[in-house]
Structure 1
Amino acid sequence: MTTTLQPPPPSHPFLRLSLSPQGAMPRPIDGAWWPRSYDLLAELPLLLAGLPPDWGHIASVTVNGSKWSPTPGRMLVCNQVVRLRRTTKASAADTVVLLAPGQGRRDLVVVPPDTTEQAARPLMRAAADGEA
């Protein structure tokens, strides 16, 4: 009998994030995020840990209330409190809004978790290129 050893799964899943290049002009969309689920408590720490340091400390996150699982009003991420807000506005259906005091607002298109890789890649590229 032969036993095949399987490598352990990665302790931190790969962050699926595509950001727009920094420029002098503000953009309506700053990139795209492709979470693995609509569980904000599981997905948000990985997202915030992967953001560029010059985005500052994200103090508030707003998501579409109809898509994401229920969450408390705030959570602790990387030893800092992040306020969680929900909206049902149609204009925010597929975005997450990140606010950092003194740094401003960043909007990311959210690619639905069940999207295939073949369909997600062009969506993420278009959002990063400002075409979303």
Structure 2
Amino acid sequence: MTSPFLPPSSARLRLGEHSGPRGSARHIDGAWWPRSYDLTTELPGLLAALPHRWGHITSVLVNGAVWSLSGDGMLIEDQWVHARGTDSPRAGHTACLLAPGQGRWDLLVVPPAATEAEAERLMETAAADDPFVGWTA
């Protein structure tokens, strides 16, 4: 599991011990606490912090009303990553990451303005074995 409080150049990320594809039931695989809602700035650090077993993330889906998106993607470490925004209420506080042939992972996005105590609580809950039972974003 990755520590949620890494040096400023790294992503603040906490993943569940059993994160990864689990059939068709949607679940939260962990939490990400970005420093801003600028995807161009935040995404490279997040992708660098992910486990290698997740494979190469080729698409990211975030809340289009909250995140700053430029174009339909970006070049990260010599690979194109498609970035899309959605206005679906389901995507309000999540980032959906897709890797062909590997799976889909959903991360709770902790608001950048959250206090350290709020972020720690949300990240701990998201990384639990059965996070958010009965919880809605």
TM score, norm. by length of structure 2: 0.83
Q: Deviation per CA, 1:43-88, whole angstroms, max 9, x where unpaired?
A: 0000001100000000000000000013210100111000011100
After superposition, the Cα gap between the structure-2 partners of 1:118 and 1:70, relative to the gap in structure 1 and judged at 3 Å, is same
Amino acid aligned to 1:90: P
Pairs within 5 Å for 1:1-132? 13-22=9-18, 26=22, 28-129=27-128, 130-132=130-132
CA distance in structure 2 between the aligned counterparts of 1:107 and 1:36, rounded to whole angstroms: 18
Contact persistence 2:20–2:103 (CA under 8 A): no
Contact 2:31 2:123 in 1 (8 A): yes
SS at match of 1:69: coil
3-state SS of 1:82 partner: strand
Structure 1 stretches lacking a partner, 5+ long: 1-9
Native 8 Å contact 2:20 2:105 kept in 1: no
Given that 2:20 and 2:104 are in contact with CA atoms closer than 8 Å, whether structure 1 keeps it comes out as no
How much is the aligned-residue C-alpha RMSD, in angstroms?
Answer: 1.7
Q: What SS is found at the alignment partner of 1:118?
A: helix
Tell me, yes or no, if the aligned pair for 2:20 and 2:29 is still in contact at 8 Å: no
- The 3 A distance-change label for structure 1 pair 72 and 131 is same
Cα 1:25–1:62 shift into 2, 3 Å: closer
Higher Rg of the two aligned structures: 1
CA distance 1:16–1:23, change in 2 (3 Å) = closer
One-letter amino acid matched to 2:57: I
SS in 2 for 1:22: coil
Q: Structure 1 residues 57, 109: closer, same or farther in 2, change over 3 A? A: same
Deviations 1:72-129 (A, max 9, x none): 1010011100001110000110000000000010000000000000111010000011
Indicate the percent of aligned positions where both proteins have the same amino acid: 53
How far apart in 2 are the matches of 1:68 and 1:89? 13
Deviation beyond 6 Å, 4+ runs, structure 1: none
Cα deviation for residue 13 of structure 1 reads 1.8
Count residues in correspondence.
Answer: 122
